[in-house]
Structure formats: C-alpha cells, structure tokens
Amino acid sequence: MNKFKYYFVLLLAGIAIVSCNKSDDDKSVVVPVRDYAEQYKADNDSIEKYLKTNYITVTDNYDVTIAKIPAGGTQTSIWEQQEYPLKYREVASRGVNYKVYYLSFREGVGERPCNFDEITVSYTGTLLDGTQFDSSYGLERDFNLDIYLTNPIIDGWPEIMPQFRVGTRNPAGADGSFTYDGYGAGVMFLPSGLGYYGNPPAGIPVYSPLVFSFKLLALKRSDIEYSSSAQAKIGDGVPTYLEDLNGDGYLYDPRDTARYPTLTDDKIEDTDKDGIPDFLDFDDDGDGYTTRFEITKPTDQIGWGTLDGSPFYFGIRNYYPWDPMNDDSATPNVDETEPRGIPSRPSGGLTDPTKPESITNPAKFVPEDYTKPGRLRIHLDKTYPYQKN
C-alpha cells in the first residue's frame, strides 16, 4: 500500500511539472517584425532566382502556367524569354526602393485604373514554390484598390494595375454572365513588403513573395473623400482619378509617413499645400468654399433651359463633369450629354463695367470657360469665388 502511494504521488508530481511547462510554452512570444530593407534583399534574390529557373506558358486566352525548368531542360526562363519582355516598376514604400517585376501579355484597350479605383479581375495567386493559395477560378471578382480600407488589398496590386487597361464588356449571355474582350493581362511578382509581409492569412507563410497572374476586365471610378463626422466616404464630386493632376495613375497621402517616409514633391498633388492631398481634401484650393460647392451647377442650368434667349440643354447632372460629355449610345432612354465641363474663373465682361470685379460685380462666363483645354478649373483656383469686400 505504501509503495502504491509513493508511485501515485510521483505521478501527480510529474503531471504538475508537465502542466507547468505546457503553460510556459503556451505564453505568447512577441517576435519583432523584420527590417523591411533586409527582407527585401532576401525577397529580391528569391524572385530573381525564380525568374531565372522557371518558364512560362501563355494560352491564347492569357491563361498562365509557370513551371520549373527540369535538369537538362531547354525551356527559356522567364528572365530570358523575349516574347513578353520582363518589366519592372520602381516603388518606394516604408523606406525601401522596391523593384517590382511584372509581365504584360496585353496592355488592354480601355481606360487605366488609378491606384484607388475599384476593379473587376480574374486572377490566381501562387507562392514561389508553385503552391496556389488563392484563385477566382476564371470568374470575375471585384476588388477595391484603396489601401486604407478596413480590410485593405495588399500594397502591390495598386502599384501594378495602373500599368494596364480594362477591356470591353459584351452583352450578357443566356445565363446572365458577361464576357470581356481586349482586357489587360499579365503577371506580377511581389516582394513580401508589398504583399502580406509578417501578417499573412492562413495558408501563406510569413514573409512570402507572391505571384499573381491576372486579367483586368473592368473598373469603377472612386471618389473617396472621407467624412469623419458621418464615418463614411462621401466624395467631393470629382472622381479620384481626375485629382491625379499629373495623370500618371498614382496618388499618395504624404501624411502616411510610415508607408511613405520619403515622398517627393512630384508625387504629392496638393493644390493648396495644406498637407491634405486633393483626392482626400474637401476644399482642394483652400479658399473656404468646398469643391462640391464650386462645381455645383446653378439650379436654372439643369436639364432644359434658356441660353442667350434660345432653348438650351444643360444636361441632367447637378454637378459639372470634369469635361463636356457626349451621350452614351448604350443607354438610349437617357441623354447623358453634358455640354459644359467644370469652368475656369469667368473671363467675360463685368456685370457693371464701371466698377471693379468683386463678389457683387462678377465677370460673366463665356463658352470657352467651360470647354477650353488646360483651363484652371474654379475648384483649383483660390481667387474664385471672390472674397467679400
């Protein structure tokens, strides 16, 4: 009996020791995030090795297969093949100057998205070892390129997608689905710093470079000024891509110093220099009048009205479009014609030529103020509306 008690106590002690060790093992260990620059060196080496040891097959429909060149194989590597010359885009992020490689099988025939638009794509994502971690399986899916959403897209997509154009959508088939022609198609090879880095979803190892083949089918333009009081993005009436004043397809927020610590002036489009880029600013020129107010059409210039004593169609929109618009033939029951774009400061004669120009004695708009190419639009001109005397 005493011997049994001895072994029973010994067993309990052993269980206690194991339990304590297990408790210690279960404690969360905080692992510091790797240095972005050091990780990029490793990623770039891995990506370039991948490009030099794998070959690509592309079908007529731009479906893609990437495979490793076998020992003694005669296939031409992605790095060396010339049918689709390897390209790269330089991307500055988190203090690192990335060189992001990509292939363009077809640029596309339609409009380019900017890096905050919504896009429709089909795609497949794989790791460098060929493991597929995601796919739309040939079906179209919608994504918002806005990196500041609650569940943001990875940083690499908004940097590469503006290099391509969307296609044209065909009428719906018998099953209600759509097909597309002329879409942009390619592959991007992303270092982990522009992917999921140290916080990937399940199934993707930390610090993994990513490979995405894609077809860019369609886009929806965004207008993303954010109202903190309404907790919603309500826009300022000017689509985000039109606030990209240099037209390169990319907009950046200089206040995001973690992601963009070294933004140069040519990448910051901030008309009033208030630190808020135009695409996030409700008053682009800082004159105290919101952009939406300045681009609002007079109430007597919506729909049919009178101009110079004759009937005139001003268009049905409440706001001026960026430039005059033609009717869309695909919507025969609606006339989208907008003969006037956002005007410049009025350049016609004064209401009372005997008095100086002021808020009570404004100049008159002339047709060229609404249509002249390159005009300085009123929401970007701090001298208009006039200040009160």
Whether the predicted pLDDT of 132 surpasses 90: yes
Rg, the chain, Cα only? 29
Collapse the DSSP code of 50 into the 3-class scheme (helix H, G, I; strand E, B; otherwise coil) and give the result.
helix
Percentage of the chain lying above the pLDDT 90 cut: 80
State how far Cα 131 lies from the chain centre: 27
| Per-residue pLDDT tens digits for 37-48 | 999 999 999 999
Is residue 122 within 8 Å of residue 134, measured between CB atoms? no
Is residue 379 within 8 Å of residue 285, measured between CB atoms? yes
* DSSP characters over 161-176: GGGS---EEPPP-TTS
| Structural domain spans, the chain | 36-220, 285-389
Q: Which amino acid is at 150?
A: T
Average pLDDT score over residue span 328-336: 89
Whether the predicted pLDDT of 18 surpasses 50: no
| Per-residue pLDDT tens digits for 85-129 | 999 999 999 999 999 999 999 999 999 999 999 999 999 999 999
The per-residue pLDDT for 149 is: 87
The per-residue pLDDT for 231 is: 61
Is residue 142 within 8 Å of residue 113, measured between CB atoms? no
| Per-residue pLDDT tens digits for 337-380 | 999 999 999 999 999 999 999 989 999 999 999 999 999 999 99
Phi, psi of 7 (to 5 degrees): -70, -30
Percentage of the chain lying above the pLDDT 70 cut: 90
- Assigned architecture for domain 36-220: Roll (3.10)
Full-model pTM: 0.87
Nearest Cα residue to 216 out of 143, 132, 148, 146: 143
